[in-house]
Amino acid sequence: MAFIKTIEHENADGELKLIYDGIVAKRGKLAEVLKIQSLNPESIVKHMDFYMSVMYSKSPLSRAQREMMAVVVSAANNCKYCQVHHAEALNHYWKDELKIEQLKKDFSKLQLPEIDLMLCELAWQLTRIPNIPTLTIIDKIKKLNMDDRSILDATLVIGYFNFVNRMVLGLGVELEQDKGSGYKY
């Protein structure tokens, strides 16, 4: 049970109902991470705008790379809610649940392309020890022909998931009964 009051879809009215209905129409269903913001409907809209920009907008990073970093950040923060949701999204691309389970445990043991390993390392380091300069990892990423836009987009994904993990953990957001399935990717 969440630590604060939330308004369920069936009890929403006015602006909140319109927002909820729009999310269900676009995404397939309404996530608990959005319902936790129901007391401030505008925050849901801003949150979804940023999420859609970071995760779905045109980027040199693939959708799979973005979901992969989401899983690594969420594993580093021990955020089960986001691990489940974004592991499901990543499996839409990878189609390998064992590989995803290993990603959550220790990405360094996976046979990933070198750039993906570096993106995972960046995600882990910026999450677990953000005060240590990341220049070494960024230099390695640049040597693998990733441009500055890619590095910016990776950092936006990492920062976004650290924000959301803290909201989920800090407000006691629980995983949906259906464990996150049914979203449109």
Model pTM score: 0.93
**Ordered domains of the chain (ranges, CATH):** 9-56 (no CATH), 63-171 (1.20.1290.10)
Return the pLDDT at 8: 95
Q: Are 181 and 8 in contact (CB under 8 A)?
A: no
pLDDT tens track, the chain, 185 positions: 899 999 999 999 999 999 999 999 988 889 999 999 999 999 999 999 999 999 999 999 999 999 999 999 999 999 999 999 999 999 999 999 999 999 999 999 999 999 999 999 999 999 999 888 778 899 999 999 999 999 999 999 999 999 999 999 999 999 988 755 566 65
User: Residue holding tokens 């649940």?
Assistant: 97
**DSSP letters for 18-73:** HHHHHHHHHHSS--HHHHTTTTSHHHHHHHHHHHHHHHHS--SS-HHHHHHHHHHH
Nearest to 36 by CA among 165, 179, 127, 156: 165
Residues 6+ apart with CB under 8 A from 161: 69, 70, 73, 74, 77, 82, 86, 127
Query: How far is CA 92 from each of CA 45, 64, 88, 171, rounded to the nearest angstrom?
Result: 25, 8, 6, 28
